[in-house]
Structure 1
Amino acid sequence: MQDNTDLTAPDRSGNEAAATGSPRLPLVVYILGLGTFLMLTTEFVVAGILPDVAADLQISLAQAGSLITVFAIGMVVGAPVMTMLTVRLSTRLTLIFALVIFVAGHILVAVGADFTQIMLARFITALATGAFWAVAAVVATRAAGPSLGSRAVGIVGAGGSLATVLGVPLGAYVAQLVGWRGTFWALAFAATLVAALVIRQVPADAPDHTPSSIGSQLAGLRSARLWLVLLACAATSGGVLAVYSFITPLLTDRAGVPASMVPLALTGFGIGSFIGTLLGGRLGDTRPHAVTIVTPAITTVLMLAIFLLSESPRAMIAAVVALGLFGLSANSVLIHLAVRFAGTAATLGSALSVAAFNVGTAVATPIAGAALISPLGLDGPAAVGTVLVALALLPTIALAQIRRREAAATRTAARARRADRSPLTA
């Protein structure tokens, strides 16, 4: 994959946003957002069709649920590994390659009769998904130009957020009409259309690009700031998902919210997440460190409110919706920072941020599950989430301090240069 493009330079495809400084984003950014919409839909759609899958394959619900787990594992592995394996390919070709594998994986699931075969197909699909996410963030950043990079990544991330609001319910509806396999056929068809749009709209890499090497990719890992961003990614997603994974029993069994209200609360979370991702990306272009500090700070307060007010139905529903608005809204900014701090290994930085989000989820969710059988009971996940999100403040504050020191040093050097050029006075 060719990573040597300067992400602060104007995009050479001639798009309006990069060339003129206009606030309009190029069409390719929205196409990539549509791609991530499909990627996150397929990751979580199994939750909406779980009983159908289990009944058809004659397996338990727990076994059917492992189709979600294996996908998350594939995302963790796929993002960095596929980035390294495609290091010699152009970003455009990598996106197409990932979508082709995505389509093939869904066809294998749709026609599969053996559970092991379907598990393998889901894992392979997740590898492609990880690669697509990583490259999409870099392509969107380049296409948008330096002044709109975070906003562009926010649009790409919002596609994933929209999946929980629109994609998963649509997938469940399709399953009710034509069976759960029809959902995977529909996703394969939609991904084929996205691949056609990528072929048409994603520009080829600049002629002066030279393929990067694995060595140059690994050199990007020396950046201490990159690792601080990755720690923030893991802590943020882990903390939020620790609560969200168990939000239904928390709402119904602890807060006494009627089961009929739970879908509305989750929809509120999804809509809040969609809006928060867009706003976070927009603000991240001018105040990235403010976004990455304020967001986890507010989220920590919301987590604490869920822990302390868990017996109040109204407070819980309000807190869940607010958690959607703030909880993951800094993710696109963190991805953008990872791309920036990785230097020439931009795609690997993006890939590692995607992996870090999933690592945080994979680690935090079982800890939150174990907390359920602790003396804290149903309040356990909220306690775990509060601690984890609060820990995200440590790396984000450190990043802001590093930036502040660099800015101070730059101002001092500028004053010194001006003093040297000033004429001597008696």
Structure 2
Amino acid sequence: MTTRGGTLHAPADVRFDDGERPPTRLPLVVYVLALGTFLMGTTEFVVAGLLPEIAGDVQVSVARAGLMITVFAVGMIVGAPLMAMLTLRLPKRQTLIIALGIFAVGHVVVALGSSFALLLAARFLTALATGAFWAVGNVVAARAAGSAASSRALGVVGAGAMLANVVGVPLGAFAGQLMGWRGPFWALAALGAAAMALIASKVPSDTDGDQAGSVRSELSALRSGRLWLVLAACATTAGGVLSTYTYVSPLLTDRAHLAAGVVPLVLVGFGVGALAGFLVGGRLGDRRPHMTTIVAPAATTVLLLALCLLSGHAAPTVALIALLGLFGLGANPVLISLGVRFAGQAPTLGSALTVSAFNLGTAIGSWIAGLALASPLGATGPAAVGTGIAVLTLIPAITIALIQRRRPAARIQAATA
């Protein structure tokens, strides 16, 4: 790796397996950051299990209460790069602590609020903090692990959010039934405050030694064509999988004829698959990054197409959804790592833009899938949309692989000329 202005960067066109031996164990800070993303993933989706209670309490329709999810997604899209710029001159550790503080305050406001407009504002504020934590946390984790294990570290950090779907969101919904919908928000506020102390004590001080960059140098990352290809892959891989996942319930009940009570168990299967996919994809990505980013979307496309064709049969549908979690999100930690690397001297902005791209793809894909659900395709419409979006991921993924393959050859030719 090379050092520019006190910040560690892998050279722009080396492989992840460039001779540096991957560590057998990841630094503790990686797991601390994974705990933070567990809280972020929980708060993003816990609202889905509490919508009827929230709607009844603040006297709005369930559909209108769903804006709490939409507003959060918009906050993540805007907030990640915006907060990366606003906190540019702050030490990384301080940024993480401030983000968790805002996260905790936002949940207290939701827990106390009675106005729906206030709830939406608090959710947007929480999303800004979430975007900042995720973007900076990715950079800190990748730097702490080193270039030879950066994808594995990002896989662990991302697995925290996937674990939220398996454990955090169901627990939050269950707690909401026992204590009322405000209870989970109080709990998340308390956990956010506790995480502040943990970050303060466990994130090493050497992450604070970066020289403050300028907005101009950060924005120079936008000139990287490879970064834009990564962002396109982030958007399409998320859009393909999560457009289908958003409307998987009607697919299971209307097409596969499963009882509504079985649906949460199928969603847990998806969550377990996604958790494994993040961990396995991150580990494979350190050695074979481009193979991972090509094989994962290719397998995802096949799985989504099979889901369209076999959704009338319960057993294959359940198995396909679990496999969709495994392959559909397996390339994400590698894409984040590539985004950080291709951003050059602006790793935080690169990380932030990948967060925005994932959320933008999810928002657009879910919107198109909703239209397809109301079309003659019915319950299979979202899976058909997902198939079309997922296959598009192969275009930027293959292009990146070809560019990276040509760059070493070009250097060799220049050296022998």
TM-score band (shorter)? over 0.9
* Cα contact 2:93–2:207 (8 A) shared by 1: no
Amino acid of the structure 2 residue aligned with 1:370: L
Deviation at 1:411, TM superposition (A): 4.0
For 1:364-383, list aligned pairs within 5 A: 364-383=365-384
User: Within the alignment, does 1:70 sit opposite 2:71 as a pair?
Assistant: yes
* Cα contact 1:4–1:345 (8 A) shared by 2: no
SS at match of 1:72: helix
Whole-Å Cα distance in 1 between the matches of residues 216 and 59 of structure 2? 48
Deviation at 1:412, TM superposition (A): 3.9
SS at match of 2:212: coil
How many residues align structurally? 406
* Cα contact 1:90–1:204 (8 A) shared by 2: no
User: Within the alignment, does 1:272 sit opposite 2:273 as a pair?
Assistant: yes
Deviations 1:342-372 (A, max 9, x none): 0111000000000000000111111111112
Distance 1:399 1:55, change over 3 A: same
Deviation at 1:192, TM superposition (A): 1.1
Whole-Å Cα distance in 1 between the matches of residues 246 and 162 of structure 2? 15
Whole-Å Cα distance in 1 between the matches of residues 383 and 291 of structure 2? 25
* Cα contact 2:91–2:207 (8 A) shared by 1: no
Distance 1:67 1:81, change over 3 A: same
Deviation at 1:407, TM superposition (A): 2.4
Amino acid of the structure 1 residue aligned with 2:110: V
Greater mean alpha carbon deviation, residues 60-69 or residues 36-45: 60-69
Amino acid of the structure 1 residue aligned with 2:9: L
Deviation at 1:413, TM superposition (A): 4.8
The answer for the alignment partner of 1:200 in structure 2 is 201
* Cα contact 1:4–1:212 (8 A) shared by 2: no
Whole-Å Cα distance in 2 between the matches of residues 233 and 214 of structure 1? 24
Whole-Å Cα distance in 2 between the matches of residues 68 and 153 of structure 1? 25
Whole-Å Cα distance in 2 between the matches of residues 43 and 162 of structure 1? 13
Distance 1:365 1:206, change over 3 A: closer
SS at match of 1:59: coil
The answer for the alignment partner of 1:111 in structure 2 is 112
Deviations 1:376-425 (A, max 9, x none): 222211111001000000000000000111122244456x28xxxxxxxx
For 1:23-34, list aligned pairs within 5 A: 23-34=24-35
Whole-Å Cα distance in 1 between the matches of residues 100 and 278 of structure 2? 24
Deviation at 1:207, TM superposition (A): 7.5
User: Within the alignment, does 1:148 sit opposite 2:135 as a pair?
Assistant: no
Deviations 1:159-182 (A, max 9, x none): 010110000011112212221111
Deviation at 1:8, TM superposition (A): 3.2
SS at match of 1:87: coil
The answer for the alignment partner of 1:93 in structure 2 is 94
Q: Which has the larger radius of gyration?
A: 1
Distance 1:111 1:146, change over 3 A: same
Instruction: Tell me the C-alpha RMSD between the 2 structures.
Output: 1.7
Amino acid of the structure 1 residue aligned with 2:219: L
Percent sequence identity is 59
SS at match of 1:256: coil
The answer for the alignment partner of 1:333 in structure 2 is 334
Amino acid of the structure 1 residue aligned with 2:353: L
The answer for the alignment partner of 1:5 in structure 2 is 7
Whole-Å Cα distance in 2 between the matches of residues 372 and 154 of structure 1? 32
Deviation at 1:42, TM superposition (A): 0.2
Task: Give unpaired runs (5+ residues) of structure 1.
Answer: 10-18, 418-426
Deviations 1:282-337 (A, max 9, x none): 11111110100000000000010011112111111111011011111111110010
The answer for the alignment partner of 2:15 in structure 1 is none
For 1:170-209, list aligned pairs within 5 A: 170-205=171-206, 209=210
Whole-Å Cα distance in 2 between the matches of residues 184 and 277 of structure 1? 27
SS at match of 2:166: helix
Whole-Å Cα distance in 2 between the matches of residues 222 and 320 of structure 1? 38
The answer for the alignment partner of 2:132 in structure 1 is 131
Structure 2 length-normalised TM: 0.94
SS at match of 2:148: coil
Structure 1 length-normalised TM: 0.92
Task: Give unpaired runs (5+ residues) of structure 2.
Answer: 12-19
Whole-Å Cα distance in 2 between the matches of residues 38 and 98 of structure 1? 12
Whole-Å Cα distance in 2 between the matches of residues 370 and 146 of structure 1? 42
The answer for the alignment partner of 1:215 in structure 2 is 216
SS at match of 1:34: helix
User: Within the alignment, does 1:160 sit opposite 2:187 as a pair?
Assistant: no
SS at match of 1:6: strand
Amino acid of the structure 2 residue aligned with 1:7: H
* Cα contact 2:48–2:66 (8 A) shared by 1: yes
The answer for the alignment partner of 2:345 in structure 1 is 344
The answer for the alignment partner of 1:12 in structure 2 is none
Distance 1:205 1:309, change over 3 A: same
Amino acid of the structure 2 residue aligned with 1:123: F
The answer for the alignment partner of 1:423 in structure 2 is none
Deviation at 1:39, TM superposition (A): 0.3
The answer for the alignment partner of 2:250 in structure 1 is 249
The answer for the alignment partner of 1:36 in structure 2 is 37
Amino acid of the structure 1 residue aligned with 2:23: S
Deviation at 1:206, TM superposition (A): 5.8
Whole-Å Cα distance in 2 between the matches of residues 8 and 397 of structure 1? 21
Whole-Å Cα distance in 2 between the matches of residues 355 and 65 of structure 1? 20
Distance 1:20 1:234, change over 3 A: closer
The answer for the alignment partner of 2:309 in structure 1 is 308
SS at match of 2:257: coil
Greater mean alpha carbon deviation, residues 56-65 or residues 66-75: 56-65
Deviation at 1:4, TM superposition (A): 5.5
* Cα contact 1:92–1:205 (8 A) shared by 2: no
For 1:396-411, list aligned pairs within 5 A: 396-411=397-412
The answer for the alignment partner of 2:16 in structure 1 is none
* Cα contact 2:93–2:208 (8 A) shared by 1: no
Distance 1:377 1:207, change over 3 A: closer
Whole-Å Cα distance in 2 between the matches of residues 159 and 362 of structure 1? 21
Deviation at 1:21, TM superposition (A): 5.3
User: Within the alignment, does 1:22 sit opposite 2:37 as a pair?
Assistant: no
The answer for the alignment partner of 2:56 in structure 1 is 55
Whole-Å Cα distance in 2 between the matches of residues 21 and 320 of structure 1? 32
* Cα contact 1:3–1:347 (8 A) shared by 2: no
* Cα contact 2:79–2:128 (8 A) shared by 1: yes
* Cα contact 1:7–1:141 (8 A) shared by 2: no
